[in-house]
Amino acid sequence: MPHVFLVFTNADAARAAPLRPMLEGAGYRVVQRPEDIPPESVLYARAIDTAVLGSAAVVVVWSAEAARDEWVERAALVAHRLRKPIVVVALDAALLPSTLAEARLATPDQLSLPEVDAPLLAAAELLAHDHIRERRKGIEQARDLLASPAQSAHHETVLAWLEHIARHDLTDTMRELARSVLEAHAGKGPARLEAERFRIGVRCPKGHVTWYDKRRLCGDHTTFKRIVVRRADAELHEIEAPCDEPGCGETTKVRLDCEEYRYP
């Protein structure tokens, strides 16, 4: 049964509760933030990342409280990086960050999820598995998806997953295996699709959207001023991104985990 990662704050738990039976009734297993691991443990962050990686979608219950919650922010950042379908259920008028600007919007009483191709979902579930042998199968399935012209629309998503394994898996063998698949595929995909993997839309206070390459935002320290903040066991760059709408002049602060977006 595919799982959905349902993300909300403790303050919003009561209003988020009806979403669980709604998702289960639609045929999903619901995973939430771990209750048996203290947030200060490194395992807490890993549990969130793994839940996102193996999910069919990430449902974010958004509110003013969620906007201040570092773990909601981490889940959104990881979901955006891994190109997971994100559905936002807004409880109030709190502004959405750039990582959620392209998310599907829903209401607490009307929630539907985008469909995910079965081969893609099967690979994601294996890549997020606890056992090494299953993650190895996941990497092999990811390699097969990259070799399939029929799955070309999903290649950049699969590459993002493999990059996650290559950087974050706990075993050298899995990291090396993921890197070998990435190296074998390097340069084979259309440049247009590769650029989409690193694209982010930044909405300024006046509502204009500017599209940036996350590698440029992270790598160009001259054009983009920044500070580094510690949030949810990660160092995030809080970057000042100017709006490119003529005559606007507004600047938006965007938080990114720049370790994941090395400038080429």
Walk along the chain (264 residues) and give the pLDDT tens digit of each residue: 899 999 999 999 999 999 999 999 999 999 999 999 999 998 999 999 999 999 999 999 999 999 999 999 999 999 999 999 999 999 999 999 988 988 999 998 889 899 999 999 999 999 999 999 999 999 999 999 999 998 888 999 999 999 999 999 999 999 999 999 999 988 776 666 667 888 999 999 898 999 999 999 999 999 999 999 999 999 999 999 999 999 999 999 999 999 888 654
Residues in the chain: 264
The pLDDT value recorded for residue 192 is 64
The pLDDT value recorded for residue 261 is 80
CA–CA separation, 71 and 261 (whole Å):
20
Six-digit token string for 263: 């400038």
CA–CA separation, 60 and 77 (whole Å):
12
The pLDDT value recorded for residue 138 is 98
Residue with tokens 């990686």: 53
Distances (CA, A) of 79 to 189, 197, 209, 224, 244: 22, 12, 20, 24, 26
CA–CA separation, 43 and 35 (whole Å):
12
Helices (H), 85-198: 118-127, 132-147, 155-168, 172-185, 191-197
Please tell me the pTM assigned to this model.
0.92
